[in-house]
Structure 1
Amino acid sequence: MKRSFTYIKPILLIVIVAFLYGFAEKRHKYRIISEINVKFTDTENLYVTEEVVNKLLIQNNSSVSSIDKETLDLNRVESLLNNHNMIENAEVYLTLDGKLEAEVSQRKPIGRVLGNSSFYLDKNGEIMPLSPFYSARVPVMFGFDGSNVAEAYPVLEHIRRDKFLTHHITGVRRLKSGKFLLELRNMDFELYFGDSSNVALKFNNFKAFYKKARKENKLNTYKKVNLQFGDQVVCTKK
């Protein structure tokens, strides 16, 4: 009898452990989500609000307390966020203490088209709708529509990455010829850029011209500065 109990004891122990594990797993599975936390990777400009994200996270349920871990489909919720036209990327996960976390990266506009239809061009070269919550301070674009806005992407992306250009260039105008005219802050002359070829070279030439003309106090003596030739800056005086 004693010998039989020796064999039964480990089996009984396994059964108890399996029961406790199953019970804990069941409780964990049906545990109610205690809190929702939304983190924006860039909080400077909110083109989509935390409230909007929350509504997508709870899948139109009226209360967070009504959602359990079994009901929640993380892949579906993540897809809903990623399909939102103001969100570039979202990652959704559950913490061990029952919190639903979402890390959201917004799309970033680099230019704003004004015309029959208004929209942004984002940093990936794609059309982005205007936000009802925030208006981006980016160069304004004239003469563009959905069919030709991508032409200006190399120019605008270079402006976005350069602090000097971001400060001084306020607009991009597309001429009937398809060439670009850049509008400047607090300067009287026109900046003729040409097409979107040799972007880095043209802007480096412009910065060198600006530095020299400012040092010599001649910025106000020009009515047109032409960068289209790439290897030189051609200036027309007033």
Structure 2
Amino acid sequence: MQSKRKIYNRVKIVIALVVFIVSIGFVNKRQNDALCKKLLISIENQQGNFFINEADINDLVTNGGREMVINLPYEQLELKDIEERIENHKYVESAEVYRDLAGNMMIDARQERPIARIFNPSGQDHYISERGEILPVSNRFTARVMVLSGSFFKKYLDKNMLVDDEGKDLFYFIKYIEKDKFWSAQFAQLKVDKRGMIEIFPQVTKQMIEFGDTYQYDEKLKKLKIFYDKILPDRGWNRYNRVNLKFENQIICE
């Protein structure tokens, strides 16, 4: 009698497993057969920069309108391929494409954000993103960022990144300025020669600032803050044409 009960319990377990597996298969089939109802697009990291919009993302998803997506079964849609297509856009930092339980295609894209613009007198300008990416300018939107000029940047215009052995220190200095409310409001332009020597042109006052290289830039900025807080109010905002910060523990004003 006991052996029959054991057999009966084992049969029940087997039947339950079969029912569970069939149910999973049925659910998966229903999900695969589900149609794409609509595209729900979210663009992050805009912050006043409008290099891409929902129409651009929609165009990338449909491959310029050549590929139907809406009302197509998900089993016929390669979400990874769509995701890669979006990420290949010059102003997209990253993207994630997935479906929700209601059958909508969810698209979360993060836009590249420029922190400075490289002025190129012999050709097209470029932006530097907050990750150090070299980006082309856009005909649609112009970002209000600090201008960079000088021969230092020529070799980077055809590269994808400013962050390398020579450029990374300058990039971190630019990023520091961009994130600091005071300095980002003060500096209009950085001119950098091929040796990495920096000249700074302020937004308001007329002094050209000889900054030197990026070594101990935080100490140099502290000296410049003393110049703005104590020397200019006492001597006059336009008294000096040139300020030299290159020498340790000195502020040389001409």
Alignment of 1:76 with 2:81, yes or no, is yes
Distance 1:148 1:57 in 2: 31
Deviation at 1:14, TM superposition (A): 7.2
> Which residue, out of 73, 85, 98, partners 2:90?
85
**How is 1:121-200 mapped onto 2 (pairs within 5 angstroms)?**
121-144=128-151, 145-147=153-155, 150=162, 151=167, 152-175=170-193, 178-200=196-218
Given residue 68 of structure 1, which amino acid in structure 2 is its aligned partner? P
Report the equivalent of 1:107.
Answer: 112
Where 1:137 maps in the other structure, the secondary structure is coil
Q: Which amino acid aligns with 1:52?
A: D
The answer to whether the 8 A contact 1:58-1:67 is kept is no
Instruction: Give the SS at the match of 1:134.
Output: coil
Q: TM-score, normalised by structure 2?
A: 0.79
The range that moved more, 153-162 or 23-32, is 23-32
**TM-score relative to the length of structure 1:** 0.83
Q: Provide closer, same or farther for how the CA distance between residues 68 and 216 of structure 1 changes in structure 2, counting only shifts above 3 A.
A: farther
Structure 2 counterpart of 1:222: 240
- Equivalent pairs counted in the alignment come to 231
Match of 1:28 among 31, 39, 44: 31
Among all aligned residue pairs of Structure 1 and Structure 2, give the percentage whose two residues are the same amino acid.
Answer: 26
Name the Cα RMSD after superposition.
Answer: 2.7
1:105/1:111 CA distance change after superposition, 3 Å: same
- Where 2:243 maps in the other structure, the secondary structure is strand
Alpha carbons of structure 1 residues 43 and 212: separation in structure 2 relative to 1, 3 Å = same
- Letter of the 1:167 counterpart: A
Q: Which residue of 2 aligns with 1:3?
A: none
Q: Which runs of 4+ in 1 moved over 3 A?
A: 9-24, 58-64, 148-152, 175-178
Three-state SS of the structure 1 residue aligned to 2:246 is coil
Structure 2 match to 1:97? 102
What SS does the corresponding residue of 1:85 show, helix, strand or coil? coil
Q: Using a 3 Å threshold, how does the CA distance of structure 1 residues 13 and 113 change in structure 2: closer, same or farther?
A: closer
Work out which of the residue numbers 45, 50, 54 in structure 1 matches 2:58.
Answer: 54
Deviation at 1:41, TM superposition (A): 1.7
* Structure 1 gap ranges (5+): 1-5
Paired with 1:137 and 1:28, the residues of 2 have a C-alpha distance of: 46
Q: Which runs of 5+ in 2 are unaligned?
A: 1-7
- Mapping of 1:199-214 within 5 angstroms? 199-214=217-232
Change (3 A) 1:224 1:66: same
Measured after TM superposition, the shift of residue 174 of structure 1 is: 2.4
